[in-house]
C-alpha cells in the first residue's frame, strides 16, 4: 500500500493565484446587477401601484445582495497581497462598494442616485481589475 501511495504522490507542487481560471473573475457581473438595481429604482419611482412597488423592492434587494456577492468574490478570491500593496486604497474601495450595496445603500433605498454611487465604485474596482490583468 505504501508503494502505491508513493507512486501516486505528486512530484511537483504548484500554486495558483486564484481558485479557478482568471476568466471566471470579472467585475462586469457586479456591474450588471447594479445596473438592474438602478433600473428597478427608476421604475419604482415612476410607479405608484403598491403591488408593483413591493415586488420591485424585493427584486432590488435580491440584486443588491448579488452585487455584494460578486464584489466579495473579487475581493477575497481574485485580489492578492501584491494587488493591495500596489493599490493601497483597494480594501477601502471594496468596503465602501459593498456598503453601498447593503442596507445603508441600494438594498435599503429606492433612490437611483445611490445606485449611481455604487456603479461609480464598481467602475473604480473594474479599472484596477483590468490594470492587474495587464501585468
CATH number at residue 35: 1.20.120.400
Q: Which residue range is the domain that position 52 belongs to?
A: 23-134
Query: Quick check: is 18 in a domain?
Result: no
Q: Which residue ranges in the chain fall short of pLDDT 50? A: 17
- Domain count along the chain: 1
Query: What CA–CA distances, in Å, run from 32 to 11, 42, 48?
Result: 43, 16, 26
pLDDT reported for residue 1: 67
Query: Quick check: is 34 in a domain?
Result: yes
Query: Quick check: is 108 in a domain?
Result: yes
pLDDT reported for residue 17: 47
pLDDT reported for residue 12: 66
Separation of CA 82 from chain center? 20
Render pLDDT for 82-119 as a digit per residue (tens, 0 to 9). 999 999 999 999 999 999 999 999 999 999 999 999 99
Query: Quick check: is 3 in a domain?
Result: no
Average pLDDT, the chain: 90
Amino acid at each position: 500500500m505504501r508503494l502505491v501511495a508513493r507512486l501516486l504522490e505528486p512530484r511537483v507542487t504548484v500554486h495558483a493565484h486564484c481558485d479557478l481560471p482568471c476568466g471566471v473573475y470579472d467585475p462586469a457581473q457586479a456591474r450588471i446587477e447594479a445596473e438592474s438595481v438602478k433600473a428597478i429604482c427608476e421604475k419604482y419611482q415612476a410607479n405608484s401601484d403598491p403591488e408593483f412597488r413591493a415586488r420591485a423592492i424585493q427584486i432590488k434587494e435580491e440584486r443588491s445582495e448579488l452585487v455584494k456577492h460578486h464584489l466579495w468574490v473579487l475581493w477575497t478570491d481574485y485580489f492578492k497581497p501584491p494587488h493591495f500593496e500596489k493599490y493601497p486604497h483597494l480594501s477601502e474601495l471594496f468596503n465602501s462598494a459593498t456598503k453601498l450595496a447593503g442596507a445603508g445603500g441600494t438594498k435599503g433605498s429606492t433612490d437611483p442616485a445611490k445606485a449611481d454611487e455604487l456603479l461609480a465604485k464598481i467602475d473604480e474596482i473594474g479599472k484596477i481589475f483590468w490594470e492587474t490583468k495587464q501585468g
